[in-house]
Every structure is written in structure tokens, then in C-alpha cells.
Amino acid sequence: MTVSSPVRLIHPKRFGDDRGWFTEVYSEKAFDAVGISVRFVQDNHSLSRPMGTLRGLHYQTPPFGQDKLVRCVVGSIFDVAVDIRRGSPTYGKWVGAELSAENGCQLFIPIGFAHGFLTLTPDAQVSYKCSNVYAPANDGGIRWNDPDIGIVWPLPEGVSPTLSAKDEKAQMLKEFVSPFEYDGNPLQPLEF
């Protein structure tokens, strides 16, 4: 895990035997030891029935910004974080990773990054921890297919994702006035 990168791909250890496996998905002490000192206050769980469901790119503005720890508990997703911190040399850049029930990986996404995911299987379930409560007045989004960001979503050619009405009309990055400040840590490629 790269300590200087704000977005981190986490590989919790699994301990298995003939019954299956056990994993510790979150430990305040272990996360604190690698520089992720966040107090989580809310857990969310979503079900996306159709394969190709796209949720995002979402963020919450201060004072209700949210750090997120995302994992896929059924099926698989392509999970993305986009740097939206003003003054960042990686503003508008993105990183993504496949999270699945099989690989057990998690993505830590700090405040100042927009988050979204595409389901790669039907009936995908995603569980994520948040460092702040949901605040509808502070909820925002950036368009999933903004050409200035250029996310390469793993969709078959010619196939459009299933979107919410809110996500269909989200603003473009060039229309967004960021309330998030750059903290000196540029976005780095994820370590697999």
C-alpha cells in the first residue's frame, strides 16, 4: 500500500480452511498504522440488479464530506475515484479497480474525491463505510461519462449503463466549483 497516495486499494488477509475463510475488513488500529485515521459513522449497502448499473460519480460537500471504505460483497464492480480537489496537480484524474466478493479487495476513497462504480455482474451488492452522515443538501455529482475525465468504464461497445435520473443529469467537471482543497498528496496509481 502506498502511504502517500490518498486513494488506496486494500487487500485484507483471508484465513481459510475446509469450512471457508475469515477476514477482518476493518480495524481502526491497523488502518491507523498505515495512515488512514478515519472515524466511520455510517454503513451503507446497495443492491444493483442489472449488470451494467452505474452509480456515480458522487461526493458530499463540506461540512458533510465523506471518506468511504468500499467493498463488493456479492458479485463484482469496477470502482472509481476522481480527484476533485482544487489546486491538485491530478485534478480530474481517476483511478479504478475491480472489487469482488471473490478478491475481497476494498477501496479507500478520502474526502475530495468523487466516487462511482459499475456493476460487472447481475445482483451485485456493495457495502461501504462513511465518515459522515448522508446530507441531501450537500449531495452532488459529476457526469459519469465526462470527456474531461475520460474514465474507461468496462462496458461492452455500444452498451449504455443503467443510470438513475440524478446521475443522468449530473454536472460536467468544467461546471463544478470545488469546495475541496488540495492537501499536498497527488493521486497515485493504485498498487495491485
Q: What distance, in Å, lies between the first and last C-alpha atoms of the chain? A: 8
Asked if 155 and 118 touch (Cβ cutoff 8 Å), the reply is yes
Annotated active-site residue 128? The verdict is yes
95: CB partners within 8 A, 6+ apart? 7, 80, 81, 187, 188, 189, 190
Asked if 60 and 131 touch (Cβ cutoff 8 Å), the reply is no
Rounded Cα distance between 39 and 16, Å, is: 29
The catalytically annotated residue of 11, 45, 58, 134 is 58
Tally the C-alpha atoms within 13 A of residue 21's C-alpha that lie toward its C-beta.
Answer: 12
134: CB partners within 8 A, 6+ apart? 42, 60
Annotated active-site residue 182? The verdict is no
The catalytically annotated residue of 59, 91, 128, 182 is 128
Residues classed as catalytic: 58, 128
